[in-house]
Amino acid sequence: MSSRTTIRAILKREWGAYFNSPIAYVFMVIFLVMAGFFPFAVSGLFEGGQATLRPFFFWHPWLYLILVPAVAMRLWSEERRSGTIELLLTIGVTPTQAVVAKFMAAWLFMMLTLALTFPVVLTLIYLGNPDLGVAFTGYLGSLLLAGAYLSVGLLTSAMTRNQVVSFILAVLVGLFLLLAGFPPVTELLSRWAPEWLVAVVAGFSFMPHFETMQRGILDLRDVVYFLSVIGFMLCATHEVLKSKAAEG
């Protein structure tokens, strides 16, 4: 069986697993309700008088911080708890194939969930004349951000059998990557750390890259940043699985 066929088979299995349990539907409903509630009820999307999606995308990093780890925590923890990970890795499936397939299934699920927010765009088109180019880059940035959070959750899920521990670790790592570039954090670091260290820590932050795309600026550096985070986390997950397989 070719590598592509193996990845496709695992991806299909993982995709089906989402919709064979209530987890997917609960996540979708919660995300769609909250993604609609905060921009309109808290950020005042209507009251702003502008046909812009920025109040809509503003909340995505915070929603993903909690909801995405809840989706990702079962990806490897459940396999390790039930013992199917050993079976999976002894029937000719490589860790690379398993990692790529599981990540792609979860990312496609996030893509579907994000696509279901299209009524927000249609509402703005009906009420005004929004810049659809800005909407596109915002959605692209949101999808890349979701992929980065997922890759973190995939790594923490591979590290432990306990889904709660995986969830907490993913939230903590995600919170660091979210807040690393915020002024309160950089100001606190600048009190004792050299400027180059402050700049390095701030460079890890999701927010500057996401905010640039949210404003409608498609900078290749921002895309490369998110893809680099995803790639690094997936490589780390691969190494964790290899070490677990060697131990077992």
The mean-pLDDT minimum among 21-30, 160-169, 237-246 falls in: 237-246
Say which residues have a Cβ less than 8 Å from residue 88's Cβ, sequence separation at least 6: 79, 98
> According to DSSP H, which parts of 90-182 are helical?
95-115, 118-127, 132-159, 163-179
pLDDT at 124: 78
Would you state the structure tokens that stand for residue 241, as one six-digit string?
């699985």
Residue located via tokens 């064979």: 20
* Cα gap 211→215, rounded to integer Å: 6
* Cα gap 92→105, rounded to integer Å: 20
pLDDT over 60 at 48, yes or no? no
72, 159 Cβ separation under 8 angstroms = no
Percent of the chain at pLDDT exceeding 90: 30
pLDDT band at 198; cut points 50, 70, 90: confident
Residue located via tokens 């954090």: 185
pLDDT digits (tens, 9 = 90+) for 80-90: 666 666 666 66
70, 149 Cβ separation under 8 angstroms = no
Task: Give residue 211's Cα distance to chain centre.
Answer: 16
pLDDT over 60 at 167, yes or no? yes
Percent of the chain at pLDDT exceeding 70: 87
pLDDT at 89: 62
pLDDT over 60 at 1, yes or no? no
Would you state the structure tokens that stand for residue 58, as one six-digit string?
């503003």
168, 65 Cβ separation under 8 angstroms = no
216, 134 Cβ separation under 8 angstroms = yes
pLDDT at 77: 72
Buried b (16+ CB within 10 A) or exposed e, 24-55: beebbeebbeebbebbeeebebeeeeebbbbb
205, 177 Cβ separation under 8 angstroms = yes
* Cα gap 88→76, rounded to integer Å: 11
pLDDT at 186: 75
Q: pTM (2 decimals)? A: 0.88
Would you state the structure tokens that stand for residue 153, as one six-digit string?
């959750």
pLDDT digits (tens, 9 = 90+) for 214-241: 888 888 999 999 999 999 999 999 898 8
pLDDT band at 247; cut points 50, 70, 90: low
* Cα gap 230→224, rounded to integer Å: 10
